[in-house]
Amino acid sequence: MRWVGIDEAGYGPNLGPLVMTAVVAEGPDERPPSLWDDLAATVARAGGNADRLWVDDSKALLTGGRGRDRLEAACLAALAATGCGVPGSLRALLAALDAGTLDDVELSPWLDAEDWPVPCADARIRLERALAAGALAGAPWRLVAVRSVVVGPARFNAGLAASASKARVHFEAFARLLAGLWERAADGTETVVRADKHGGRHFYLEPLHEAFPDIWIDRGPEGPELSRYTLRGPGRRLSLSLVPRADADDGLVALASIISKAVREHWMDVFNAHWTARLPDLRPTAGYPNDAPRFRLAIEAACLARGLAPSVWWREK
- Going along the chain, which residue ranges are E strands? 2-9, 18-26, 43-44, 53-54, 142-151, 191-196, 216-222, 227-233, 236-243
pLDDT of residue 29: 86
Give the three-state DSSP class for 138.
Answer: coil
Evaluate the CA torsion angle 121, 125, 126, 132 in order and state its sign: positive
What does 231-279 look like in DSSP terms, one character per residue?
EEETTEEEEEEEETTGGGT-HHHHHHHHHHHHHHHHHHHHHHHHHHHHS
pTM of the full predicted structure? 0.97
pLDDT of residue 203: 95
- Over residues 208-260, the pLDDT tens digits come to 999 999 999 999 999 999 999 999 999 999 999 999 999 999 999 999 999 99
Q: Does pLDDT of 200 surpass 80?
A: no
d(CA 274, CA 238): 43
Q: How far apart are the first and last CA of the chain?
A: 39
Please, are residues 54 and 48 in contact by the beta-carbon 8 Å criterion? yes
Return the CATH superfamily for domain 2-269: Ribonuclease H-like superfamily/Ribonuclease H (3.30.420.10)
- Over residues 248-299, the pLDDT tens digits come to 999 999 999 999 999 999 999 999 999 999 999 999 999 999 999 999 999 9
Evaluate the CA torsion angle 124, 126, 129, 135 in order and state its sign: negative
Given strand 2-9, what is the order of strands in its sheet?
Answer: 142-151, 18-26, 2-9, 191-196, 236-243, 227-233, 216-222
Name the packing angle between helices 153-163 and 166-184 (round to 10°).
110
Domain ranges for the chain = 2-269
Please, are residues 4 and 306 in contact by the beta-carbon 8 Å criterion? no
> In 3D, which of 71, 19, 22, 16 has the Cα closest to residue 238?
22
- Over residues 2-30, the pLDDT tens digits come to 999 999 999 999 999 999 999 999 999 88
